[in-house]
A and B are shown apart, each in its own frame.
Chain A
Amino acid sequence: MRRFILKTVFYLSPVLLLIGPLEYVMYLNRETVRINTVIEGQINSRHELYYFKNFFDNSPYSYKIGMAERKNARILVVGQSTVLQFTKEMFAPFQDSFYNLGFSIHNVYGLRSILVMIEKKQIHRPDLMIIGIDADLLKKRLVENDYMDAATLNFDPAEHIKYHFAGMQILFKQIVLSHSLAFIPKRNLGYGQSGMNGEGFRKDGSLHYAGIISNYLQHPEYVDVGGYRAMLKNKDYIFTAPYKLDSARMRVLSECLKQLKALGVQVVLFFPPISNDFYSFFSSDTKFNNFFNSYLALQDTFQAKHFDVIRFTTPKRFGLTDNYMLDGIHPGEVFVGKLWYNFILSKSRTGILSQIDTASLSRLTNSKYNIPLSFMRDTLVFKRRQEIR
């Protein structure tokens, strides 16, 4: 028996020897930090702290909903990744009452889950909700996406051994691909490997794309980093067939909007812009283009129902260039700021919208320190906090 156990341990020793160092490196990258610790850290810190893990699932459901619960925000932004550039500075004097829930939902069922949480008072009822309506949010899918329930909301990968092992695999791959052991960040600006480097979710829920911005500073030209042209060509990711609006999803969205009105929440629907490059690319794809046009027609439908809509545009139509886009489908924060400013000025404002400081918003979007992709305040944060290891 003893011989058997010793021999088994002997043959498994490389595995056992590898686990320890890999877990330790993840710990040094602040990847094994629990979501609750991140939330407490961000809520209590006077400085900006970024959160983005590279080896673990970022569990945006539990993280973002947890943050929203703590912030009791009067202004909430809800949507997929395309709304992540709405930042608190655009909503003066309500900066402290703003939270961006972007990326915490992946379809309209997620929106419905958030509404249920508002009704159950798990999330503070906001006065204003900006909802990002991407085409993907309403597109028919052969396989239904999952949506939030109590289990996903309380889920934290850092508490499960199997996620640590999955993280080790990603770390090992990174080591092999980079041929380097220099994988511990030199800065300490947040949680997770990216977060420590200053890239990730800010305290207000928006996302700081440090990598894309620093690349832009070196080569100031538009790059479709997400590779959306190739994705559409390969009918991959969010561009899989069938190209049509899902009537069931449309129904859910209508119900949600009706419910929000009944709750007294002011709603703004945001149809996110697309780069000129990507827009002209998919215009030649008849099927996708037809679908996209039927999606755009929804703007008029919603406006006819007296909803406020930030209408779809492209940088060119708005008088800008693609340099204001992070990639094919994600606008940068300056572009979003300008769209928001334009929207605020274009209508007679009521409720909380009437209290938003347009002068401050104008100063923000036209600041001489801006580059097309960024207000550059994070750069100041980096300089102020010389937390170099």
Chain B
Amino acid sequence: MSFNSFEYLFFLIAVFLFYWLLNKKLKAQNLFILCASYFFYGWYDYRFLILIISCSLADYFLSFQIYKSKRFKLFFLSLSMSINLGILFFFKYFNFFIVTITGGLNYLGIHNSLHTHDIILPLGISFFTFQTLSYSIDIYKGKLKPFNNVIAFLNFTSFFPQILAGPIERGSKMIPQFLSERQFSYPLATEGVRQIIYGLFKKMVIADRLAVKVDYAFNNYTSLSGFELLLGAMYFYIQIYADFSGYSDVAIGTGKLLGFQLSTNFRTPLFAKTAPEAWSRWHITLTKWFRDYVYFPLVSKNKESTIWRISCTILMLVLIGLWHGANATFIIFGLLHGIYFIPSIVSRKWPALKKALTVLKTNAFFSAVSICTIFTIASITTVFFRSPDVSSALGYMHRMFSFRLVMPTPLLLMSLPLAVLFLTWEWFQKDKEFQFDIGAIPNPFRVALYYFIPLSILLMGKFIDQTFIYFKF
């Protein structure tokens, strides 16, 4: 039941109406949301319900042990982490691990009988395991007390708007919302609908239309010119942004319809002026997760060392890359992004560079130049993200930098106006919480936009065979 499917539309309408019929009955509402969430998740594959329920219950009970125990605190945390990371490793990384080990041993001339297995990846596994991990770690660190309400906790781990692809929430933000009474709020619900519709517009009209051109570029890279391939890479960068931020908008909007506030996941990252800024605006909840649970603990060991800081940053970004999937392409993707952070890290101890970076951010001309530069570099780097393997990515890159000046085929150029119009709109709306927050626009134009967006989804959106890119992570 993807967000861009009719099944989800009917599901959402039914859930919305029934949920608010239970107004002021908190327990019933929470139980209903839990059932709806499990129904939603089980729609894909009911067998994985056992996995998510057992994992959640284990974390729920272990959290009390982590909190209460003095001698075995670390043991219970390790147990919780082993369960979550073990499941994640088995389903997501086991085959990658076997292939890598086998390759290494074969290279050394050592024969082995290790073999891969046909493992189906449960949807959203990287998202819900990270949520439960943060819960256990926060309790261990004393930042959070365990919540003594199993329904609220199960809701936190399985809330249907965000179970498949985030935002990755923290217990401290979500569980109190499940524990407090929710009233129907007209402004919040209206905002939710706006955000859902704009999310669908980004997904179905922008991302899915660009996907056709991106597929064309990546499937035929051996016969296209460098400029065409650069255009293909840029389209892909816009595509994943529109796809994933579109998903997040629908998730956040759905949350608002039910009276919940989910975390913002994107803040127009395509207009970032530096690499760190881009990451602080892209998939914010994941970046914050790695920052809080990986980067800060590591960097605090030797705050003054620039080399150490660079190493920690690169490690964090490689892990973020690897989080996306078990493939060397994601490791390179993360590594390259880590390298792009180096100027900002070095500038901390190099005033001249710091000044130069400040000028880049404040001066209008240099700001424009740096936005274009970061956009281009990030687009080129996404070639690793999109390619099935390293050799294809390198082949694409090699051809892209061949600098053959050939006029792009009309097929690729046709989507340029759509991409430019979309970026222009996003630019003017870049300071808003979401980019269809149009309350300030005068009325005739606002009404026109309200009509335009759903109509353009109907007439231009892709309805067939388009899943969200981040579902596979």
Contacts and interface: CB of A to CB of B under 8 A. Distances in A.
Interface of A: 1, 3-4, 7-8, 11-12, 14-15, 18-19, 142-143, 161-163, 165-166, 168-169, 172, 234-236, 240-242
A324 B189 CA distance: 64
Chain B contact surface mostly? helix
Interface stretch (B236-244, B328-336, B339-347, B447-455): B447-455
20 contacts: A1-B20, A3-B186, A4-B186, A11-B447, A11-B450, A11-B454, A14-B451, A15-B454, A15-B455, A142-B220, A143-B219, A163-B463, A165-B458, A166-B464, A169-B460, A169-B463, A172-B459, A240-B223, A241-B222, A241-B223
Contacts of B464: 162-163, 166
Contacts of B222: 142, 241-242
A161 B451 CA distance: 22
Given A11-B450, A162-B464, A236 B411 contact: yes
B179 interface: no
Interface residues of B, number: 28
A19 B189 contact: no
Given A3-B186, A235-B220, A236-B409, A166 B463 contact: yes
Name the residue among B190, B409, B459, B460 with the largest chain A CB count within 10 angstroms.
B459
Interface of B: 5-6, 20, 184, 186, 189-190, 193, 219-224, 409, 411, 447, 450-451, 454-455, 457-460, 462-464
Contact of B189 (A4, A161, A165): A4
Contacts of B450: 11
Nearest to A165: B463
Contact of A161 (B6, B184, B193): B6
Contacts of A168: 458
Contacts of B459: 169, 172
A15 B456 CA distance: 9
Given A142-B219, A240-B223, A162 B458 contact: no
B283 to A, nearest CB: 27
B220 A18 contact: no
Contacts of B219: 142-143, 240
Top-3 shortest CB links A-B: A241-B223, A235-B223, A162-B463
A4 B6 contact: no
A320 B454 CA distance: 55
A215 to B, nearest CB: 24
Nearest to A167: B463
Contact of B5 (A8, A15, A142, A162): A162
Given A240-B223, A241-B222, A15 B189 contact: no
A162 B6 contact: yes
Nearest to B219: A143
Given A1-B184, A4-B186, A18 B193 contact: no
